[in-house]
Amino acid sequence: MAGFAVVAWLVEPNKFGGLDMSSLRWGATFTLIVGVASFLVLTWPLKRVETDGERVYVSNYFRTAFYRWDQDIESLKEFRFLFFRIGVIELNGIGSFGRKMRFVMSRRLVEKFREDFPGVLPGTEK
């Protein structure tokens, strides 16, 4: 998207048969800004979450923190966004990534975890 916006601003109008390029330029710039803002708001806060039944490991791919299910985690909430299931882990206090951490949940893996480690998930809400 950035490359298209740069090309739209740098190309000479005679390359497009003398058409007015201002609407294409501003449209490309607007699309770029909306795309970057959407990425930063919707996907950048998502974390990678893994667990072994005793601890939950949360990573943003640059650093990893771990929290104990029984001591550090207050609740696990689930909600749907479009066709994704988003999980929110809420801590008792402030952690390395804040108090709330969002991640994309797999229904199959959550059910397997509930079967393997019954009673571990605190305050699961929908």
> Is 124 among the domain residues?
no
Please state the domain count of the chain: 2
> Is 125 among the domain residues?
no
The residue count for the chain? 126
Residue 122 has pLDDT above 70, yes or no: no
One domain for residues 6 and 19: yes
> Is 36 among the domain residues?
yes
Query: Model-level pTM?
Result: 0.71
Residue 69 has pLDDT above 90, yes or no: no
One domain for residues 36 and 89: no
One domain for residues 67 and 112: yes
* Helices 22-38/2-10 angle, 10° precision: 160
Closest alpha carbon to 88 in 98, 96, 66: 98
One domain for residues 56 and 39: no
Asked if residue 87 lies in contact with residue 76, where contact means CB atoms within 8 angstroms, the answer is: yes
One domain for residues 11 and 59: no
d(CA 58, CA 97): 9
One domain for residues 60 and 95: yes
Give per-residue pLDDT as tens, 7-45.
888 887 776 666 778 888 899 999 999 999 999 988 888
Q: Which domain holds residue 6?
A: 2-43
| DSSP code at position 105 | P
> Is 31 among the domain residues?
yes
